[in-house]
Amino acid sequence: MRDKQREETRRRIYLAALEVFRRDGVSQCRIEDIAQKSEVSRGAFYFHFPTKDDVLIELLRESQKPMEAKLVELPKNAPLQLTLDTLSTELAAFWEKDSKLLPDVASVALKMNSVVMDRESIRVREVLGRLFTEAAAQGQLSDVLPPEVLADFYLANALAAMMAWCANPMLPLETVLKGVSMLFLTGAQARTP
Amino acid sequence: MRDKQREETRRRIYLAALEVFRRDGVSQCRIEDIAQKSEVSRGAFYFHFPTKDDVLIELLRESQKPMEAKLVELPKNAPLQLTLDTLSTELAAFWEKDSKLLPDVASVALKMNSVVMDRESIRVREVLGRLFTEAAAQGQLSDVLPPEVLADFYLANALAAMMAWCANPMLPLETVLKGVSMLFLTGAQARTP
DNA sequence: ATTATCTATAGATCTATAGATAATGC
DNA sequence: ATTATCTATAGATCTATAGATAATGC
């Protein structure tokens, strides 16, 4: 009962925060406006989210749910190309229509990746690491670098591509991401000697 | 005379800010402390740097000066490998000993890359773009993507590698960066058909 | 006389926390 | 009775700006 109430309030604050972020920008907006829109006190916002960044971390987590689901249900020993195409499609589906917050979320993700090292919040990182490890075991990947490292590089490339697209969205995001995947695969695929 | 005075004050604030950033962290520190250390009013800080991020942008600019110098004096038509090794060495020389501020600078750079699109502040991006274009003209690079885009991907990879190193600095930074360069070259080099 | 640089400060906003309320566990 | 959730608010810090000072240009 109390848990339900808390989650409901938290969710209301979360959604209101995203609206205000999109309208006024993350760093420019006032927490007072978020509190007002979600009909709680400023202190309640603070109780649920110590900082604005914590809201963005929640969005980062949410954004990974559909991707993770699709990745997990891939056939065993799927070719890497299929894995990366799936990821590209899901990334594009989520961010193409909500690109306003992408730079702020990317910035938070980048910091967490190194500073906080919060494995919980970037779950796709783990799932992809596992898929890359399997692919490597089958000889689909170069062994110049460990598969988890390659997975991180792929994600970094995808992030960079999304930021570039953000600044200059000429092509559909999915096309750009699939292009990046192809480039990555060319470099990272095992040489057939 | 006035210009000289201004530049001196600005420089004093800049150096004091970096000290305070390193000590207390960028987001946690107080501007009052920076002002006090540089013996000006808080308003003077605000006059020279509208936000803390502007100090980091200045650091980003400074960090590129030695790299740019080395890149410009490379022999005409240098092999890409040499270009990337040079860049790796300079990046490592600058950041290996001052990694505390790297995540904050990276975060600012990432946002600028897309949001502000401030070509002035990421000059290495242009220089590298030019070098990649020359290399492409000589058939050193794949033509799957335009050379400027490849240069951006390379920089994104280098950035990602630096962040990973930051979190887990087992190897020397230069080694990590050269490893990334090699991986990139494998993928991006033109196929000899 | 005009303008750039800087100070002083009012008002806005945030962070931290004491206390109210209502659900939970005993 | 204890604890989690939330409100109200004091004090810290920031942002925006009016005004002081000193250099510049005419």
- pLDDT of residue A116 exceeding 60, the answer is no
Nearest to A163 among B103, B114, B186 (CB): B114
Return the top range by mean pLDDT from A155-169, B51-65, B102-116, B131-145.
B51-65
In this predicted structure, the answer to whether residue B140 has a pLDDT above a threshold of 70 is yes
Q: Is the model more confident about A109 or about B14?
A: B14
Closest CA to B143 of B113, B188, B174: B188
Separation between Cα atoms, residue A176 and residue A84, nearest integer Å: 12
- Considering chain B, what is the average pLDDT of its residues? 88
Q: Which chain B residues contact residue A103 at CB under 8 A?
A: 110-111, 114-115
Task: Look at residue B116 and tell me whether its pLDDT is greater than 60.
Answer: no
Mean pLDDT of B3-21: 94
Q: Give the rounded percent of residues in chain A with a pLDDT score beyond 90.
A: 58
Please state, in angstroms and rounded to a whole number, the distance separating the CA atoms of residues B123 and B67: 10
- Phi then psi dihedrals of residue B142, to 5 deg: -60, 145
Residues at the strand D interface (CB under 7 A)?
A 2-3, 5-6, 9-10, 40-44, 46-48; B 1-3, 5, 29-32, 42-43, 46, 51
Contact A103 B111 (CB under 8 A): yes
Q: Chain B residues within 8 A (CB-CB) of chain A?
A: 103-104, 106-107, 110-111, 113-115, 117, 142, 144-145, 149, 152-153, 156-157, 159-161, 163-164, 166-167, 179-180, 182-184, 186-188
* pLDDT, tens digit (0-9, with 9 covering 90-100), for A120-158: 677 898 899 999 999 999 988 887 778 887 888 888 888
Q: How confident is the model at residue B123 (pLDDT cuts 50, 70, 90)?
A: confident
> In the predicted model, what is the mean pLDDT of residues A39-67?
94
Q: Which residues contact B76 (CB under 8 A, 6 or more apart)?
A: none
Beta bridge partners of B189: B141
Residue B78 structure tokens: 């240098």
Residues from chain A contacting residue B159 (CB–CB below 8 Å): 156, 160
In this structure, of A188-192, B26-30, B115-119, the range with the lowest mean pLDDT score is B115-119
**Hey, what are B116's tokens?**
């502000």
Residue A16 pLDDT more than 70? Answer: yes
Contacts of B152 in chain A (CB under 8 A): 160, 164
- CA-nearest of B72, B73, B90, B111 to B162 is B90
pLDDT of B16 above 70: yes
- Is the distance from CB of B40 to CB of B32 less than 8 angstroms? no
Confidence check: pLDDT of B48 > 60: yes
Local confidence band at B129 (pLDDT 50, 70, 90 cut-offs): very high
* Domains recognised in chain B with CATH numbers: 1-50 (1.10.10.60), 52-188 (1.10.357.10)
Q: Which residue has the higher pLDDT, A190 or B86?
A: B86
Give the span between the Cα atoms of B111 and B88, in whole angstroms.
Answer: 22
Query: Where do we find the tokens 């249900």?
Result: A73
Instruction: Say which DSSP state A74 is in.
Output: S
The predicted pLDDT at position A110 comes to 78
Residue A108: band (very low, low, confident or very high) from pLDDT cuts 50, 70, 90: confident
Optimal mutation site among A21, A80, A107, interface B, most CBs of chain B within 10 A:
A107
Angle between helix axes B173-188 and A173-188 (nearest 10 degrees) is 100
In whole angstroms, give the CA distance from residue A93 to residue B104. 29
Q: What is the pLDDT of residue A3?
A: 83
Tell me, what's the pLDDT at A147? Answer: 87
Question: Which chain A residues touch B if contact means CB-CB below 8 Å?
Answer: 102-104, 106-107, 110-111, 113-115, 117, 142, 144-145, 149, 152-153, 156-157, 159-161, 163-164, 166-167, 179-180, 182-184, 186-188
Phi and psi for A145 in degrees, rounded to 5?
A: -130, 150
Mean pLDDT of chain A: 88
**CA A2 → C1' D3, Å?**
11
Query: How confident is residue B192, by pLDDT bands cut at 50, 70 and 90?
Result: very low
> Tell me, in Å, how far CA of A9 is from C1' of D5?
10
Assess contact for A84 and A127: CB atoms under 8 A. Answer: no
Residue of least CA–C1' distance to D12: B30
pLDDT range class, residue A193, cuts 50, 70, 90: very low
